[in-house]
Structures are given as structure tokens and as C-alpha cells.
Structure 1
Amino acid sequence: MVKRMTRRSESATEATGTASFTRLSEPARRFLRAETGGAALLLAATVTALLWANSPWSGLYESLWHVRAAISVGDATLAMDLESWVNDALMALFFFVVGLEVRREFSIGELTDLRRAAVPVVAALGGLVVPALLYLAIVPEGEATRGWGVVIGTDTAFMLGALALVGPRYSTQLRVFLLIFTVIDDIVAVSVIGLIYSRNLNGSAILIMIALCGVMALLSRMQVWRAAPYLIVGAALWLAAYHAGLHGAIAGMLGGLLIAARTPAREAVETAEQYFRAFRQSPMGVVGRSARLGLERAVSVNERLRVVLQPWVSYFVVPLFALANAGVDLRGGVLGEALTSSLTWGVVVALVIGKLLGVGVTTLAAERIGIGSLPQGVGKGHVLGGAALAGIGFTVSLLIAGLAFDDQLIQDQAIVGVLLALVIATVLGRLVFRAAALFLGETDADLPRLLDRPVEAGIDHIRGPVDAPLTLVEYGDFECPFCAKATGVGRELREHFGDRLRYVFRHLPLPDVHPHAELAARAAVAAGYQGRFWEMHDTLFAHQNELEYEDLAGYAAKLGLDVERFLRDMNSQKAEARVRADVASAEASGARGTPTFFVNGERHVGAHDTQTLARALERSAPPAREAPPRRR
């Protein structure tokens, strides 16, 4: 049997019960793009806050965040200053998006199989415990000891932004590893905020919160597909947390965690397609509305909310938070006191050295003793470089600093420590990555990008001229509802390019999610022995829900094959070895799910619709040869 140990990819079909940290799915790529893109704006907001707070207009900066703003409904009024609205209300939205991402990781992402997630989980725990202990060793007594929570968090946006600047050119695999690590980090950080830094709790409001969590969970279990009910209950949950004396981060994280993530069901996608086709044929408002609702039904609420809210969080909420909290007035001896304060250097050392040791050394130790393995393409130097960047605490660190200290001077010292750690951790990360490249030869932290086994006529299944200038290789699974034949992409590309394109199909059965895929792959190979591979290929995709043993024998009979020979070949070691060879080439080429496409020998990353693949093929087309000049 062909065993698959795979998980996420850019592809639409993924193996369940596994986690390879190997390729980023489209939702994860969108998350990373928003986070890294927002890092630049976050840095700009931080610098602006510091300059403003130390300018002649610093009084305006201070007074701005103390302006009172209220929401009134009848006799009920909710009033806070602008700083509190940002830190408690808007940051609840930030943690709501974090909760959605965490739930996705546990539902259909990297954390579905904790055996595969063991190393980043251990790394996260080390990155929490070691910095906290190191901080308490440097700041052992007094009010400053309450600041140990400042050093446990890692800012995902800044970390990934810094990775894009100072890390390897290709770092997809390392990003996946770091993203999983920060998922655990965020859960613990929010728990610390709720359990350690909340005061004067209101029991009645907490009971209301529990009831609202039950309502949110019930909505998700009933698969209510409209987003409005979740948002209404989420707003009520935040209001209950506010009256309970809990920080809004708790309500945000809980709300996000309770909204389930699901992969699109084949039936829902097909229904959406029918609605869309109807709209193309009859572009009327009512038909368009049906098409829009059909598309929304096909995508889980978790995914839709993240897509809508992530840009707002990355490009507005978090930069505004930085603008409101990073403005420390360093004049009047404040900077001098901070630089001589054990609290400031406790924060710096705990974040920079503590994260490097807690994340880096713990990860390498976990791999060494066999708890798990590093993602393919990630080396020891990459791990240490990522661990150094984990010392960028910023968002969570500033939030906890504001909660931990009532004394403004102590709070300012903590903020200075966080800002210094940001700079030092980034520089240290750059040095570690550079050393890894020079001394260990660790450059790219990514999966292989080139097709491992070149296309060979007589061995590969080729549709089109064998010497065509354009080549599209698909690793597919006959039960995959999103593969090229199932979606019509292959046919449309062949119609578009004609004899300029050769299309190659290689087998990548995913038995974890498609129990009949492996048998169907052997059936196609067996049909190929009688010269009818493509006829069986098309038949299997046309009957994806009917791939039992008896069905395959029936298809062979309808195609006019020698059924007895077909069944013998299908069950032979020769057919199994043929499929296993394709699977091995998929592994060596960086393919981890179906469909995975290679355009002229290079792995395609991103959407795999007809237009996108056509553009990729055109871009990679070899230059046309110039005709030789005519002789006169």
C-alpha cells in the first residue's frame, strides 16, 4: 500500500490526520501576506508614536488618548477614553482573528495531529517558560516582578515582517513552523492576561459569558452559515467580559475559538457553480444574489470572517494600537533611568536571549531526542534564526505592560525594553541567518521547487505532442473534487494552447481523505497497460463517487478491456510500484496535496484556475527562436 504522511498545501485536497508543515495553504498565505504587509505600517506607527511623544506637540499626544468617547442606547451608556477603546475593544478584534486562526489550525490545519505538531508545541512552551524565568532571575523582587508576562509573547506581524527582510530568500517552511509556534504562544498569552492580569471580577457577568459561549458553540455546531449571528453574539461576549472585569482579549479569543473551520464540501462547491452559471446566462439581480449566497455557503464562516477582518486588523487595528502605546516620552531623564533599570534590561535579556534559548535550543533538543522532526527544508541554523526573531514581543508585550504596571515610570521602562528587544532581536536574527548560510550552507528554508523526475515519453502519461514547448504536470487523485479533470481546467488549457501544450498526469493518492484513491490509481495504470489510460482516467473522474472494486471492473468492461487481465494487473506489484514511483517523485518535488501543478518543471504556487495557470505557462514559455535571415 502507498502510505502518505501529508498535510497542508496550496492544493485544494489535503490528507487528514497528518501535519507536515510543508506547504502553505491559500488561507495561510493570505494570513502571512496580511501580517508581513502590515509589519511595515506597524513599524511606521511605532516610529510616529515615539517622535510625536518626544516632540513639542507631546501634550497633544497625551491628551488625545484621554479623550472620552461613549456609546449610548437609551439610558445605557458605555464610556471609555480612546486609549481604552483601542486597547480593550479594538484589540479584542485582533484576538478574535487570532482565535479564528487557532481554531482553523486545530480543525483542519497543522495542529490536527499533535504528533506532527510536537516540535513547535515544545518550542512554544520553551519560549514561554525560559524568558519568564530569566526575567524573574534579573528582577527578583518588587512591583517589577509583575512584568514577567511582558516577555512571554511573540508578535507574529513583526516577526514575519522581519523574517521577510533578514531571513532566507525562500522561507515558506520556516514561516509555517513559526506560525504554528505563535499559535500556541497566543493561546498562553491570552490565558495569562485573563488569569493573572484581570482584577475585580464580576461573577454574574462571567456566567453570562459562559452562556454566550454556549450560544456561539451551538451556532457553529448547527453550521449556521451567515456571519451576522456570530458577530452579534461576539459583541455581546465582549460586553459581558468588560462588565466581568476581564480584558477584551479573552472575549475575542474565545469567540474565535468557538467558530469551527471546515473544508468546502464538494456538493456546496458544485451548487455554487450552478448558481454562477445561471447568473452568466441570466445576469439579473435576484440570480446574482443567489450566486453570491451560494458562494458564501460553500465557504465556512471561519474562513469568510478571517478574510474580511484580517486586513482591518493588520492595517488598522494593530498600527493604531502601536500609535497609542509606543509613544514614550524619553525626555527629562526617562531614557537614562530606563537604560539603568534592571526592569528594562530584564525585558531585553528575557526576550532576546530567553526566546533564543527557549525556542531554539528547546526545538533542537526535542528533535535530537526524537519527540518529532523539523519540517523538510528547515535546518538548525534556520531554527536559531527564527528563535532570535521570536524575541520581538511588541503587541502582546505592550498590552501586558499596560496591564501589569500602574506606575507610569515603570511602564515606560518596560516599553523601552520591548522596543530595544525589537531592534536587537532583528539584528541578531540577521546575523544567525547569515552564519547559517555561510557555515552550514543553509540558504533556502523551503520545499523543493523543481520537478524531481523529468517528463519521459513512454513512462509518463502524456496528452498532447510529446515535444510540445509547454509542459504542465499535475499530481492528482481520482477522488479529488478540485483536480484539473474534475474542474475542467485541463480541458480548457488544452483548448487554449492546442499543440503547444503537453499535459502530464502523475498519481498522488491521498488515502487519509480518499479511501478509494489508491485503488483507482492502480486501475488507471492497469488500463494503461492495454493502451487505454486516458479513457480510464476520464471515466474515473466522471464517477468520483463510484470507485469500488466492482465499479472499476465495470468501467474496464465498458472500455472494451480484457477484464481478467485488467484485474490481474490492477492487483499486481507492478501497478503498485508504478503508483509508488509517482508518489516518490511528488515527495521529492515538494508536492504535498492534490492538485499540485508544475509549470515547465517548476512547482506552481497559488491559485490553480484556468486563467492563472495559463498566465504561468505563458510567462515560463521558452523564447521563440528568430528565423534565420534570408540570403539575397
Structure 2
Amino acid sequence: MTTHRERVRGWVERIADARRGDSSETLAAAFLLAATLAALVWANSPWGETYQAFWHTPLSITVGAHGIELDLQHWVNDGLMALFFFVVGLEVKREFAMGELRDTSRAAVPIVAAVAGLAVPALLFLVLNPSGPASAAWGVVISTDTAFVLGLLAVVGPSRALRLRVFLMTLAVADDVGALAIIAVVYTDDLRVGPLLVSFLGLALVLLLRRMRVWRGAGYLVVSLVTWTAMYLSGVHPTLAGVMIALLLPVYPPRRREVEHAAALTRAFRQSPNPEYARAARLGLERAVSVNERLMRLYQPYTAFLVVPIFALANAGVVLSRETLTAAATSPLTWGIVLGLVIGKFVGITGATALFARIRPQALAPGLTFPQIAGGAALSGVGFTISLFIVDLALEDPLLQDEARVGVLSASVIAALLGWGVFALGARLAPPPAGPPTKLLRPVGRRDHVRGPVDAPLTVVEYGDFECPFCSKATGVARELREHFGDRVRYVFRHYPLDDYHPHARYAAQAAEAAAAQGKFWEMHDTLFRHSDDLERDAVDGYAAAVGLDMERYEEDIRTGDFVTRVEDDELDALTSELPGTPAFYLGGSETPRRHDGPHDTATMIRELEKLLP
């Protein structure tokens, strides 16, 4: 029986683990929560009147006889949030070009789930608000707050949730695409053609800068400011300027010649330090990385830890008086938002995923279970940031805006609790094993690299790292096993690069996959292990040439191919299976292979495999 003190200690350890690990989302969610609570406390304090007075303070920027005058809240919503949507656009562009959304087979399930997670909440909202001014707020329930969801997942989610995290991140990107499209199409009025044409001209200039291979951000900044101003004057919400500019900016993996040029400039500076060489080296390094990735790395911390919390501070300050709460408790608008976000997201995402998986049983990634998906779908009802943003666009009546904000805040709390409850129920109904999983997570299939007959009665699966000295010795064991068992065994190699210990292993794994595209995986595999102590990038490329690869195709495949995804898939399987290191072996007969925890010398492995023979 777990005591209360043990449960509290477990929660503290989970939070500490999130802080020690990939904690950016958790920390961003904490900043956002703190800003929200500060807004509520401020608005409901004895000095609550100063909240409205401060955020409605007018501020104008004029040049000559022309200018823009907004209150502080709208400078935040229309101005600062343009930077937030710019970063969202950068992330969307990168995911389509180089990330999860590039591989349609991997992204199919979360995309379908995202579409259902947009449509079902909107339909449920319109059931309660079919007409009238409140019906325009159906867009409030369509979006998921990625920062809050991933932060909550780190705290209340299951311990083996790597695949769920990837699923939710992919879903969130697809969700953002839908939300941005709806904002652009639905929440635009009073369109003025002249300024709109100027904004299109600005976008054309951004595209021209891209075609001219301009890689410095300053040139884009000037054009972007003009484009934002013109779009604001046109009647289209100006935050969309940030999205459209981001989608036009180039994103690409580093080109080899530019990396080598940057290295040469850096070497020249090291040999002769002076201001000119320092500037040349810095520009060379900047040119090697796409504008998209440099700007995303630059602005992401500002949007996560400054822009979005300021937005919450400016928009979440609802006066929770008896009159407001009474009106919200009886308002179809409030209940429509709660119903749409909490139930709509949960039913839409879970139902669409279940239906898609029934049609394509292999669509779900290994290790991703329906209790996990249900918990993640429940957390997706936290639609905080974009939901509050659309409240301001969809509703003009301050009373309706307050009712909608109460609905968003209530739905976010309920969705967080529901997600926690679903995860807890799933853990109780299907308790995770006491130790690491023993079965091979992903069955051997066509994607695998197999030595030996594919229908052999014995299977050996190795998760290895080309820079691991123990793995290079284990290749001898695999060879001896094949010599002993002959056609009765098949040997499968999967990647598990340990970046903390072997900095060159990941590139070597990608090189092996690029060789596989030319039908020479095993030649490259054997060569890399023979030289496991010399896997610098140039050396690996030399081995690729030595095994007879078409080097032009190899270099292009390394730069733009899907091999990064393939290596990451194997790595996620290994991490989900909690493999302690490399080499790690699974042994099996006609059934699913199981982890081999004993010594991996030839004699021991032969004895274990012989036990599996009929």
C-alpha cells in the first residue's frame, strides 16, 4: 500500500526529474501559470480597478501625420503576439521540412487526431450556441496550449511517455496549423485593399530576400515591420504577418560546403586572432545554419518566458465577482467552451486515433498505448493561450468576454484534472511492470536490417552504437552465432547512439542508413565497427567512399534524407524499453524476442538460443 508521504515524494521526484531533464516546456508552463495567477489576484484585489486602467492605457506611435494608437492590451495582443505566432510559424515550417510532419506515415495518426480535435469541440460548442453573438466564439475551443500540455505531461504523465510526448508535439503542430488558418479566414473583417496589397508586397520582398540567399536576420526585420504595419491597417489581424513571414523563411539542414567554409574561417581566426577574421568566422557560422533555425533559437525563449506570460497577465484578469460567476454558471457560452475543450478534445482525439488504428493496425508507434493517448487527449483540453487570444477577436461585449474567459480558465483546470485522472486510472487498471519491459517493443519487420533468412526459427536483435567498443566486440559474437546456427538464426541490428559518451555515433548511424538506401548497409556496418575508434565525420565519409557508395547521392541523403527519423525511431524504442546501454540483445524463437540480461559472450548466447529450439 502506497502511503500519502510516498505519493507526495513521488510527485516531488517527478517534478525534479522534469527540471533536470528536458524542462523547457515545464518551466515555460510554470511562468505562464504564475502570470495567470498574478492577473487573477491583481484583478480581484482591492486595487483591481488599476488592472483595467493600466491595460487600457493608450499608447501611440506616430511618424509625421500618420501613426497607430492602441491601448497596452492590444499592443500586447496585436504586437507582441505577432512574435509568438512568428515562432509558431517557424516551428510549423521546420516540422514540415525536417521534422515529424515530413514523414506522412509517422504523422498520419496525430494529424487525423488533430483534425478531429479541431472539429468535434467546435461542433459541441455550436450545439449550445447555435446563433447570436456568442456563436462567433466557436474558435475559442479549437486550439491546444502546447506549453501547458507538455508541462503537465512531465508532471502527471506516465514515466514511459516518450512516444506520447512525440505524439502530442506532432498533434500540437498540426493543431496550430488549423488554428492559424481559422484565425486568418474567420476572424478578419473591414478589409482594406490598399494596405493589404502593401503587406503582400512586403511578403514578396521576404521571398526575394530568400531567393537572393540573404542569411542575416536584420534584412528580414525591416521588411517584417513594414509588413506587420500594412497588415494591421488592412483589417487582417496583424499577428498573421508573423506566421506568413515565418512560412516563407528558408529552412534546410546545414550544407557540407558551408560547414567546411565556416570551419576554415574559424581555423584562420584561431591561427591569427583579429577583428576581421572574427567577423568572417561569425558570419560563416551563421550562413551554415538556416535563417529559420537561427531565428527560432533566438526568439523561442523570449516568447516562452516573456511574451506569452505578458499576454496572460494582460488577458486573464477576470473579476471573479458573484455576479460574474453567476452569469458564467448559467451562460451557454461558458458551458459551450467547457464542453468543447474538455469533452470535445477528449472524444475527438481519442476517437479519431482509435478509428484510424482500427483501419491501419500498425499506425500507432510501438509503446504508445490507448490509455496514454486518452490521458494526452484529456490534457489537450487546456487551450489557454490561443483560446484567450480568440476571445478578444470573436466577442465585442465585455460581459461575454468575461464569461468566455471564465470558461477557458475553468476548462483548463478541469482538463488538467481529467488528464491526471485518466493517467491514474490507466495505471491502476493496467499497472506498469515493476522492472523494465522484457519483450521486444517493435517486432522485426521489413524496415529492419536482417542478416540470415527472414523466416529463421531463431532471432537475435542487437541495439548498438558504432562508437561503443563493447559493440564492436559483440559483432564477433554475432558472426560466431551465425557460423554455429547457420540458416537457423537471423541477426537484426538497430541503432542506439549514446550521445553523452559517443559524440560521433549518431552521424555514423545516419551514414549507415544512407548506405542502406544504396543497398550497402552491412558493408558500411562492418566497416564502421572495424574503425569504431575513428568515426570523425570526414573519416566516416571516407568509409562510405571505400564501400563504393555514390558520394553525391550519399551526401545529399545525409543532408536531407529521412535517416535522422529512422535513427531516432530506434533510439525512442530503446529509451522506452529502458535499455541501460549498449550492446543490448533480445533473443527469441518463434515468439517475440525477449531481453537477454546475462553475459553476451558466444558460449552463453548459444546456450540461451538452443533452449529456444523446438
Counterpart selection for 1:376 from 366, 371, 379: 366
Paired residues of 1:476 and 1:483 also in contact (CA < 8 A): no
Partner of 2:453: none
Q: Tell me, what secondary structure is at the counterpart of 1:378?
A: coil
Q: Equivalents in 2 of 1:144, 1:189: separation in Å?
A: 19
Paired residues of 1:460 and 1:505 also in contact (CA < 8 A): no
Whichever structure has more helix as a proportion of its residues is 2
Q: Equivalents in 2 of 1:180, 1:435: separation in Å?
A: 25
Q: Tell me, what secondary structure is at the counterpart of 1:543?
A: helix
Q: Equivalents in 2 of 1:506, 1:89: separation in Å?
A: 41
Partner of 1:417: 407
After TM superposition, give the deviation of residue 135 of structure 1 in Å. 0.7
Partner of 2:119: 129
Q: Tell me, what secondary structure is at the counterpart of 1:289?
A: helix
Partner of 2:523: 522
- Are 2:425 and 1:435 equivalent residues in the alignment? yes
Deviations 1:550-569 (A, max 9, x none): 999xxxxxxxxxxxxxxxxx
After TM superposition, give the deviation of residue 224 of structure 1 in Å. 1.7
Paired residues of 1:191 and 1:250 also in contact (CA < 8 A): no
Partner of 2:129: 139
Partner of 1:150: 140
Partner of 1:257: 247
Partner of 2:587: none
Counterpart selection for 1:119 from 105, 109, 123: 109
Q: Equivalents in 1 of 2:125, 2:441: separation in Å?
A: 41
After TM superposition, give the deviation of residue 394 of structure 1 in Å. 0.9
Specify the code of the residue in structure 2 equivalent to 1:165: V
Q: Equivalents in 1 of 2:420, 2:398: separation in Å?
A: 33
Partner of 1:169: 159
Higher-RCO chain (CA-CA 8 Å, sequence separation at least 6): 1
Q: Equivalents in 1 of 2:506, 2:146: separation in Å?
A: 39
Q: Tell me, what secondary structure is at the counterpart of 1:87?
A: helix
Residues 88, 508 of structure 1: CA spacing in aligned structure 2 closer, same or farther, 3 A cutoff?
A: same
Residues 429, 524 of structure 1: CA spacing in aligned structure 2 closer, same or farther, 3 A cutoff?
A: closer
Specify the code of the residue in structure 2 equivalent to 1:231: L
Deviations 1:116-145 (A, max 9, x none): 311111111100110010011122232111
Q: Equivalents in 2 of 1:137, 1:102: separation in Å?
A: 31
Residues 318, 338 of structure 1: CA spacing in aligned structure 2 closer, same or farther, 3 A cutoff?
A: same
After TM superposition, give the deviation of residue 168 of structure 1 in Å. 1.8
Q: Equivalents in 2 of 1:387, 1:426: separation in Å?
A: 10
Counterpart selection for 1:363 from 353, 359, 362: 353
* More divergent stretch after superposition (409-418 vs 67-76): 67-76
- Are 2:231 and 1:241 equivalent residues in the alignment? yes
Paired residues of 1:586 and 1:592 also in contact (CA < 8 A): no
Counterpart selection for 1:327 from 317, 324, 333: 317
Residues 548, 506 of structure 1: CA spacing in aligned structure 2 closer, same or farther, 3 A cutoff?
A: closer
After TM superposition, give the deviation of residue 364 of structure 1 in Å. 1.6
- Are 2:181 and 1:191 equivalent residues in the alignment? yes
Q: Equivalents in 2 of 1:400, 1:551: separation in Å?
A: 52
Gaps of at least 5 residues in structure 1 are 1-28, 463-472, 491-503, 553-582, 604-632
- Are 2:461 and 1:460 equivalent residues in the alignment? no
Q: Tell me, what secondary structure is at the counterpart of 2:215?
A: coil
After TM superposition, give the deviation of residue 68 of structure 1 in Å. 1.2
Residues 262, 544 of structure 1: CA spacing in aligned structure 2 closer, same or farther, 3 A cutoff?
A: farther
Counterpart selection for 1:50 from 36, 40, 48: 40
Paired residues of 1:379 and 1:442 also in contact (CA < 8 A): no
1:147-546 correspondence to structure 2 within 5 Å: 147-370=137-360, 373-441=363-431, 452=463, 455=470, 459-460=474-475, 508=509, 513=514, 519=520, 521-522=522-523, 525=526, 541=540, 543=542, 546=545
After TM superposition, give the deviation of residue 149 of structure 1 in Å. 0.8
Q: Equivalents in 2 of 1:124, 1:586: separation in Å?
A: 23
Q: Equivalents in 2 of 1:585, 1:310: separation in Å?
A: 26
Q: Equivalents in 1 of 2:566, 2:244: separation in Å?
A: 42
Paired residues of 1:53 and 1:329 also in contact (CA < 8 A): yes
Q: Equivalents in 1 of 2:276, 2:527: separation in Å?
A: 49
Paired residues of 2:496 and 2:574 also in contact (CA < 8 A): no
Paired residues of 2:163 and 2:572 also in contact (CA < 8 A): no
Q: Tell me, what secondary structure is at the counterpart of 2:106?
A: coil
After TM superposition, give the deviation of residue 114 of structure 1 in Å. 2.3
After TM superposition, give the deviation of residue 586 of structure 1 in Å. 9.5
Report the aligned-residue RMSD.
4.0
Q: Tell me, what secondary structure is at the counterpart of 2:366?
A: coil
After TM superposition, give the deviation of residue 241 of structure 1 in Å. 1.1
Q: Identity, % of aligned pairs? A: 43
After TM superposition, give the deviation of residue 434 of structure 1 in Å. 1.4
After TM superposition, give the deviation of residue 260 of structure 1 in Å. 2.2
Residues 367, 77 of structure 1: CA spacing in aligned structure 2 closer, same or farther, 3 A cutoff?
A: same
Paired residues of 1:451 and 1:602 also in contact (CA < 8 A): yes
Specify the code of the residue in structure 1 equivalent to 2:542: H
Q: Equivalents in 1 of 2:511, 2:550: separation in Å?
A: 20
Specify the code of the residue in structure 2 equivalent to 1:460: T
Paired residues of 1:91 and 1:248 also in contact (CA < 8 A): no
Q: Equivalents in 1 of 2:476, 2:568: separation in Å?
A: 15
Partner of 2:57: 67
Partner of 1:613: none
Q: Equivalents in 2 of 1:512, 1:222: separation in Å?
A: 33
Deviations 1:416-438 (A, max 9, x none): 00000111100110111112222
Deviations 1:138-171 (A, max 9, x none): 2223211111111011111111111112112343
Deviations 1:369-399 (A, max 9, x none): 1186122321111111110011001111111
Specify the code of the residue in structure 1 equivalent to 2:219: P
1:11-22 correspondence to structure 2 within 5 Å: none
Q: Tell me, what secondary structure is at the counterpart of 1:200?
A: coil
Q: Equivalents in 2 of 1:102, 1:205: separation in Å?
A: 27
Deviations 1:260-316 (A, max 9, x none): 211111222222222223333333222222221121111110000000100100111
Specify the code of the residue in structure 2 equivalent to 1:251: A
After TM superposition, give the deviation of residue 324 of structure 1 in Å. 0.5
Partner of 1:94: 84
Paired residues of 1:131 and 1:355 also in contact (CA < 8 A): yes
Q: Equivalents in 2 of 1:297, 1:403: separation in Å?
A: 39
Partner of 1:564: none
Q: Equivalents in 1 of 2:142, 2:528: separation in Å?
A: 59
- For these two proteins, the number of residue pairs brought into alignment is 509
Paired residues of 1:460 and 1:506 also in contact (CA < 8 A): no
Gaps of at least 5 residues in structure 2 are 1-18, 443-460, 478-492, 552-564, 585-614
Deviations 1:592-612 (A, max 9, x none): 99xxxx985499xxxxxxxxx
Deviations 1:535-585 (A, max 9, x none): 998996362673563999xxxxxxxxxxxxxxxxxxxxxxxxxxxxxx999
